[in-house]
Amino acid sequence: MEIKAVVSDIVNIKAGAIIVNHFEGRKHPEGDTAAVDKALDGAISQLIKQGDIKGKLNEITLLHSLGKLPASRIVVSGLGKKNELTVNRVRSATAETCRWLRQKGVTSVASVAQGAGINHINLEEATKAVTEGALLGLYTFRRYITKKEDNAGEIKELMIVGSEKEKPRIERATTRGRILSEAASWARDLVNEPSNYMTPERMAEAARQLAKDYGLSVEVLEREQMAEAGMGALLGVSQGSQQPPKFIILSYKGSDSNEVDIALAGKGITFDSGGISIKPSQGMADMKGDMAGGAAVLAALIALAQLKPKINVTALVPATENLPSGTALKPGDILTAMNGKTIEVLNTDAEGRLILADALCYAKKLGAKSIIDVATLTGACRAALGTVCTGAFSNNQELANRIIAAGNETGELIWLLPMYDEYKEQLKSDIADIKNIGGRYGGAITAAKFLAEFINDTPWVHLDIAGTSETDKEKGYLVKGATGVPVRTLVNLVLSMAK
């Protein structure tokens, strides 16, 4: 879809549909909506008066111009109560409206910068939100569907209308919104792929293609190199699969320094059966998405390569399957991680923390100044926080505050959970340095405490995206399947740190 800034008034735009808005509780149309209402001889005012347009969030009302405007259709998008308007509500309402218009076969859409000037939302923020809402909300994954979608067109053009003076700011914001949305959509694609296609090797190939397309550097460690590096935890998880594991290192260099300012480690389990501690069959098909963290950290570098902040970032993805077989890791086995720490494996379905242990050790070896890891790590985090927000765990309050703020800006909500030392007691082993599960209670926290054993004092945040990496229904700019969380948050964090 082409997104462009157009110098004009919304009433003069020729398009399949134009989008204006209305706020809940307001008795008369305002701003650009009032100008459209006037051209329609008060049709919008009449519908408000009748109660057919209430302005509730994500409400969509269609009017036909009948030749009174160059655009054939007018959509009044509800933005909720004016004093409660946020950038994320603009993003969400735009997505819902664009999806609705696509079902109507509309191919060309024009919109004002929804919400600009309200509740301290500036023009760039509003424009970026409209751009992201349209691109993320219209995302589809139909690669393996041979039948064409019924009654669905394709929106090929989105025009964002403003003045001559506003045009450069609108263009900058649409560019940034597109970069962030396309990066998140790339991650969605990877996660939505079936695991017979998205193997560790294919994931490594995807990283190599990114390096080629965006001028990044890439290295992929093979099994022998992992063994030489001492990555016993990753190799232990991989030994049940016939697919060879890959350790992906993708780097963006934005400064003259040779130091790694930020390492982004992402869990890359391309399919998780649970191993010998096998999962229930119900819902196991969704375990193709257990590499969502790995996809997110790779995708973040797509955006960074285009936005070019002056900072060095390396993404690390330990990629493997977790399967049961005659060679698979068994409960009771002991593994040795890259830093020499021994791990008693009591549950082979707690494998994400094992492969991340070696990734975090590798980040430490690189001398990373800060480390963020992203993983669909625990059902316990989903049980605690549901699907609304990502769980965060950290040894550094400043870094945690930064990533929470970055998430608030993108609408990818994050909640910080405790990391008290008392939780570490649950990980004590009688025969090794540490065990890989901590019992029934506080599972998300004990998993984070396990990871902390491989961090020491480096500023670090662990993001558990088990509840937010996928959704089973359309809502706002999220569509059924992979969400692309937390790609845009990671990019925002890096940009804030680069400043």
Tell me which CATH code domain 2-181 carries: 3.40.220.10
Splitting the chain (499 residues) into consecutive groups of 10 residues, what average pLDDT does each group show? Answer: 96 97 97 97 98 97 97 98 98 98 96 96 98 98 86 87 97 98 98 98 98 98 98 98 98 97 98 98 97 99 98 99 98 98 98 98 98 98 97 98 98 98 97 96 98 97 98 96 98 97
Write down the CATH number for the domain with range 198-498.
3.40.630.10
The pLDDT of residue 130 is 98
Provide the annotated active-site residues.
Answer: 279, 353
Nearest of 95, 108, 294 to residue 177 by alpha carbon = 95
The Cα–Cα gap between 465 and 447 comes to: 13
Helices (H), 104-222: 123-137, 167-192, 200-214
Give the whole-angstrom CA distance, residue 320 versus residue 355.
9
User: Which pLDDT belongs to residue 150?
Assistant: 67
How many Å apart are CA 163 and CA 253, to the nearest integer? Answer: 37
Q: By three-state DSSP, how is residue 64 classified?
A: strand
352 touches 377 (CB < 8 A): yes
The per-residue pLDDT for range 60-110, each reduced to its tens digit, is 999 999 999 999 999 999 999 999 999 999 999 999 999 999 999 999 999
Domain map (residue ranges) of the chain: 2-181, 198-498
Number of residues in the chain: 499
State the distance between the two ends of the chain, measured CA to CA, in whole angstroms.
31
Q: What is the pLDDT of residue 95?
A: 98
CA distance 490 to 496: 10
DSSP per residue over 332-400, as a string? T-EEE-TTS-EEE-S-TT--HHHHHHHHHHHHHHHT-SEEEEEE---HHHHHHHTTT-EEEEES-HHHH
Residue type, 194: P
Distance, CA of 101 to CA of 155 (rounded, Å): 8
Say if residues 229 and 362 touch (Cβ distance below 8 Å): yes
Extract the tokens encoding 88: 């994320």
Q: What is the pLDDT of residue 148?
A: 80
Q: Residues with Cβ < 8 Å from 328, sequence gap 6 or more?
A: 239, 240, 275, 276, 348
Looking at residue 153, what is its pLDDT?
73
Residue 468 has a pLDDT of 98
Q: What is the pLDDT of residues 199-208, one digit of tens each?
A: 999 999 999 9
The helix or strand, by DSSP H or E, that contains position 4, with its residue range, turns out to be strand 2-7
Distance CA 464, CA 467 (A): 8
Q: How far apart are CA 129 and CA 491, in angstroms?
A: 15
Distance, in Å, from the CA atom of 249 to the CA atom of 119, rounded to the nearest integer, reads: 42
Buried b (16+ CB within 10 A) or exposed e, 441-477: ebbbbbbbbbbbbbbeebbbbbbbbbbbbbbeeeebb
- State residue 147's pLDDT score: 85
The C-alpha atoms of residue 150 and residue 35 are separated, in whole angstroms, by 35
d(CA 224, CA 183): 32
pTM as predicted: 0.97
Name the DSSP letter for residue 475: B
312: closest CA among 230, 365, 250?
250
